[in-house]
């Protein structure tokens, strides 16, 4: 995702006021933050079947039948250690070459290096410079893993040979991809036959906080869908900070980096690119459920404004998918 010195794209919402300065999070702090609940995983693992039964009741039977999720979870019930294990499908990465798509400052590369694959290639549209160098040294010194980074569009990774990757992974990237077919075609090209792709993406556009901003209280959770463009621009400007994280909703809104796909749209794109769905987990939004209960009039307005959306599209926060490229392994 965008680096601190990324070129400004065409003006988007919030571009009329003085632009905020952007800074990059420390990758070590981010890695620690996202790993802090891993110690709870044994408890989550025991509770997950019960959570699944409870959360499924919140979705319509036709949604469950159409999507066929393996699990339906609430927020914070699928920590990083569980995601990594699920992404690998129980297989070791010891001899694998892993592509990390949309790596940003590189914290996720450091996380994957803990599984000790043979090599990791990190790719992002923007160059995160010194942060990438720090991550590469950390992975080499602590885990003995060779890491390289490349600033490149995910749609065109000519520096990677066809069929050279065993696994492609991404967290919080696909919700920002504007051209999913091209990104997926390139992922399929660099993966070997039988290779796998793991992705988690969310908050999704039609869910609460789908603009990755949602500041100022629960009532603002769907402002990106309920407000007209002028009112939404004023809302962004009124709630902007003098210094923003470069991987924040304020920056994403400035660059209009949102895919605006629903779960069905992603699954269709995966199939069209030649991937077979090997696993799907849905995560529901606590804020969405609270918003529906507390603001019924706005909820009805939301349903009326978003033609073609099922009510469940406003509740599904994150998709976790595990895909397999067609062909012999």
**Mind listing the pLDDT tens digit for each residue in 75-121?**
988 998 999 999 999 899 999 999 999 999 999 999 999 999 999 99
Buried b (16+ CB within 10 A) or exposed e, 292-322: beebeebbeebeeebeeebebbbbbbbbbbb
- For every one of its 329 residues, what pLDDT tens digit does the chain have, with 9 covering 90 and above? 434 433 333 333 334 456 678 898 899 998 888 888 788 889 899 999 999 999 999 999 999 999 999 999 999 889 989 999 999 998 999 999 999 999 999 999 999 999 999 999 999 999 998 899 999 999 999 999 999 999 999 999 999 999 999 999 999 999 999 999 999 999 999 999 999 999 999 999 999 999 999 999 999 999 999 999 999 999 999 999 999 998 899 999 999 999 999 999 999 999 999 999 999 999 999 999 999 999 999 999 999 999 899 999 999 999 999 999 987 54
Contacts made by residues 130-133, CB under 8 angstroms, sequence distance 24+? 131/24, 131/27, 131/105, 131/106, 132/105, 132/106
How many angstroms separate the CA atoms of 200 and 223, rounded?
24
- Strand 146-151 and strand 119-124: the pairing is parallel
Backbone angles phi, psi at 241, to 5 degrees: -95, 155
* Helix ranges, the chain (H): 27-35, 41-56, 61-67, 80-88, 107-113, 129-138, 180-190, 223-226, 229-239, 249-255, 263-272, 286-294, 296-305
How many angstroms separate the CA atoms of 111 and 117, rounded?
11
Nearest Cα residue to 104 out of 34, 4, 199: 4
Spacing of C-alpha 11 from chain mean position: 24
Task: Please list the residues that pair with 198 across neighbouring strands.
Answer: 169, 322
Give 18's DSSP letter.
Answer: P
Q: What is the pLDDT of residue 4?
A: 40
Encoded tokens for 28: 């070590």
């Amino acid at each position: 995702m965008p680096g601190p010195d990324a070129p400004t794209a065409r003006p988007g919402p919030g571009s009329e006021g003085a632009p905020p300065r952007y800074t990059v999070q420390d990758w070590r702090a981010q890695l620690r933050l996202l790993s802090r609940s891993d110690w709870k995983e044994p408890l989550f693992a025991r509770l997950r079947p019960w959570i699944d039964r409870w959360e499924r009741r919140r979705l319509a039977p036709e949604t469950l039948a159409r999507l066929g999720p393996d699990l339906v979870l609430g927020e914070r019930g699928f920590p990083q250690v569980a995601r990594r294990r699920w992404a690998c499908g129980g297989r070791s990465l010891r001899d694998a070459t892993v592509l990390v798509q949309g790596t940003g400052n590189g914290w996720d590369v450091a996380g994957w290096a803990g599984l000790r694959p043979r090599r990791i290639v990190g790719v992002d549209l923007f160059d995160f410079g010194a942060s990438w160098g720090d991550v590469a040294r950390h992975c080499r010194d602590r885990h003995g893993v060779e890491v390289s980074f490349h600033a490149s569009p995910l749609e065109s990774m000519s520096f990677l040979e066809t069929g050279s990757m065993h696994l492609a992974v991404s967290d919080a990237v696909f919700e920002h991809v504007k051209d999913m077919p091209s990104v997926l075609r390139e992922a399929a090209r660099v993966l070997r036959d039988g290779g796998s792709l793991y992705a988690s993406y969310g908050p999704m556009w039609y869910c609460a906080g789908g603009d990755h901003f949602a500041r100022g209280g629960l009532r603002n959770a769907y402002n990106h869908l309920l407000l007209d463009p002028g009112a939404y621009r004023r809302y962004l400007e009124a709630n902007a900070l003098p210094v923003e994280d470069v991987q924040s909703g304020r920056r994403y809104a400035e660059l209009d980096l949102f895919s605006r796909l629903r779960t069905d749209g992603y699954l269709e794109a995966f199939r069209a690119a030649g991937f077979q769905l090997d696993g799907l987990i849905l995560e529901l939004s606590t804020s969405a459920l609270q918003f529906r209960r507390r603001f019924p009039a706005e909820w009805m307005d939301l349903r009326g404004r978003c033609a073609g959306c099922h009510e469940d599209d406003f509740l599904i926060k994150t998709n976790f998918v595990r895909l397999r490229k067609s062909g012999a392994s």
